[in-house]
């Protein structure tokens, strides 16, 4: 059995599908959404992450680094010259403060499964299961398929969070073993989508339609980033598109959260840590109203919005 590059595994994850779930975060993504809240899952290789606020200045990393990439100034300032770093990760083994960490480990199906199965009883007691997320799990489709197949054979419910910007043939690999697809439509406008993420959305929309003809459930989501994805037109068009779907469980709007910022800085991607914001709550209410005109039901950040909470919008 193969192995996959895994960023992390989160047990008792509450926001990645129904019930109690374990989410396996895959490493590597082909899109470049600038507001990504999991920036540590974008690169397709293991990375060094550094949280300066945790560093106690013990100097252990300096001693072990063969490349001399760490510098500790007398005033306790710690810097890493990432150009020198060869990615041996010896420093991470010696850093007990948690300041230096490695993201991305090669793990076998069995290894991941062992961790996933720790919570088996919880899944059955809460209608939960396992979710593959990332990153883009389908960039490692063989591994994902193998893992899902094993999960299924052990009686677990399965879900994938994907951007679907991949050929249908790739999706087909996991389709037989997946119960639920959670998919993002980052922007409905093809050009804007390309500007924002670096890829076209045609494939995404096509694949959603194909999934709608497959025996799976669908949740579609849009992250609301002020000035980028929160135009009423965008939400209206997306909702209109979803209106026709048979297997849509709900359309979910997600409020942008600056969770990814610190991680960008910790990854040394200062340039990526551009500041974004979420639309204000009034605007969000308005967008929910627009979305609900076409697609139903509508969710906001994991919670269903009741009919009477929706503002009508013409």
Partner 1 sequence: MNYDQRIEHLREEKLRQTNEKLKKLGTRDEDDYGCVLPPDDFHWEPPVTRDDGSFFGAYAWGKNFRSLMENHPVYIDSCDALAGRWMFMLSRMRPGYRLELAPFPPEFDYSHLRNEQGKYDITCGIGKDAHFAPDYEIGLRLGWGGLLEKVRDCKSKLGDQDGLELLTAEEDAILGIQNWITRSAEHAGNMAAREPDPILRQNLLDMHEVNARLVEYPPQTFREACQWIAWFNMASRTHNRDGAGGQLDELLRPYYEKDINRGLIDDEDATFYLACLLLNDPHYYQIGGTGSNGEDVTSKLSFLILEAAKRLKVSCNLTISVHDGLDENLFRFGLQCLLEEKMGFPRFSGEKSLVKGFVRSGFSRDLARKRIAVGCNWMSLPGREYTLNDVIKINIAKVFEVAFEEMIGDVEDEPASLERLAELFSSHLGKAVLCTAKGIDFHLDRQFRNEPELLLNLLCYGPIEKARDASNGGLEYYNMCIDGAGLATVADSFAAIEQRVVREGRLDFSELADNLHKDFEGIEGRRIRQMLGGSEKFGQGDSLGDKWAGWLTDNFAETVKSANTPGGRRLMPGWFSWADTVRFGKSVGATPDGREANTPISHGANPNPGFRKDQALTAMCKAVAAVQPGYGSTAPWQLELDIGACDIADAADKIGGLIKTHLELGGTLININVVNAEQILQAHENPDLYPDLIVRVTGFTAYFSNLSKEFRQLVVDRIITR
Residues in the site for ligand SF4, rule: CB under 6 A? 48, 55-61, 64-65, 67, 69-70, 78, 85-91, 94-95, 97, 99-100
Distance CA 138, CA 92 (A): 29
CB closer to partner 1 out of 56 and 190: 56
CB closer to ligand SF4 out of 82 and 210: 82
HSE, CB side, 13 Å, CA atoms: give it for residue 308: 0
98 interface partner picked from partner 1, ligand SF4, none, CB below 5 to 8 A per type: partner 1
Backbone angles phi, psi at 71, to 5 degrees: -135, 135
Given 128, 129, 134, 289, the residue binding partner 1 (CB under 8 A) = 128
Q: Shortest distance, CB of residue 44 to ligand SF4, whole angstroms?
A: 17
Q: Shortest distance, CB of residue 151 to partner 1, whole angstroms?
A: 16
Contact present, 27 and 134 (Cβ < 8 Å): yes
Burial of 159 (0-12, 13-18, 19+ CB in 10 A): buried
Cβ count near 100 (within 10 Å): 26
6 interface partner picked from partner 1, ligand SF4, none, CB below 5 to 8 A per type: none
69 interface partner picked from ligand SF4, partner 1, none, CB below 5 to 8 A per type: ligand SF4
Cis peptide before 297 (omega within 30 of 0): yes
Decide if residue 127 touches partner 1 (CB under 8 A): yes
Q: Shortest distance, CB of residue 91 to ligand SF4, whole angstroms?
A: 3
Q: Shortest distance, CB of residue 120 to ligand SF4, whole angstroms?
A: 36
67 interface partner picked from ligand SF4, partner 1, none, CB below 5 to 8 A per type: ligand SF4
Would the CA dihedral through 286, 290, 293, 294 be positive or negative? negative
Stretch 37-76: interaction string toward partner 1, x if CB under 8 A = -------------------xxx-x----------------
Distance CA 182, CA 16 (A): 8
Q: Shortest distance, CB of residue 83 to partner 1, whole angstroms?
A: 27
- Which segments of the chain does DSSP mark as H helices, in order? 60-64, 90-94, 109-117, 120-126, 141-153, 168-174, 190-197, 202-212, 232-243, 259-266, 281-294
Decide if residue 281 touches partner 1 (CB under 8 A): no
Report how far apart the first and last C-alpha atoms of the chain are (Å, whole number): 55
List residues binding partner 1 (CB under 8 A).
8-12, 14-15, 18-20, 56-58, 60, 96-98, 118-119, 121-122, 125-128, 299, 302-304
């Amino acid at each position: 059995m193969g192995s996959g590059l895994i960023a992390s595994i989160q047990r008792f994850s509450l926001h990645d599908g129904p019930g109690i779930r374990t989410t396996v975060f895959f490493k590597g993504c082909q899109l470049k959404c600038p507001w990504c809240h999991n920036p540590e899952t974008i690169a397709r290789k293991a990375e060094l992450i550094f949280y300066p606020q945790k560093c106690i200045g013990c100097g252990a990393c300096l001693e072990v680094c063969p490349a001399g990439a760490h510098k500790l100034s007398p005033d306790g300032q710690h810097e890493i010259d990432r150009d020198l770093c060869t990615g041996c990760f010896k420093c991470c083994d010696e850093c007990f403060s948690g300041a230096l960490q490695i993201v991305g480990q090669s793990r076998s199906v069995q290894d991941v499964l062992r961790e996933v199965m720790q919570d088996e009883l919880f899944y059955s007691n809460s209608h939960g299961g396992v979710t593959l997320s990332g990153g883009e799990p389908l960039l490692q489709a063989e591994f994902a398929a193998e893992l899902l197949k094993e999960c299924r054979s052990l009686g677990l419910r399965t879900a994938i969070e994907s951007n679907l910007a991949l050929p249908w043939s790739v999706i087909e690999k996991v389709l037989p073993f997946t119960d639920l697809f959670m998919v993002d439509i980052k922007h409905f406008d093809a050009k804007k989508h390309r500007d924002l993420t670096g890829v076209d959305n045609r494939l995404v929309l096509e694949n959603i339609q194909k999934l709608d003809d497959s025996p799976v459930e669908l949740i579609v989501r849009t992250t609301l980033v002020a000035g980028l994805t929160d135009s009423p037109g965008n939400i209206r068009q997306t909702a209109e598109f979803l209106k026709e779907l048979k297997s849509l469980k709900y359309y979910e709007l997600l409020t942008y959260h600056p969770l990814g910022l610190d991680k960008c800085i910790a990854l040394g991607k200062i340039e990526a840590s551009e500041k974004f914001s979420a639309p204000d709550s009034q605007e969000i209410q308005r967008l929910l109203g627009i979305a609900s005109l076409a697609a139903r039901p509508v969710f906001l950040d994991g919670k269903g919005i009741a009919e009477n909470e929706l503002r009508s919008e013409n």
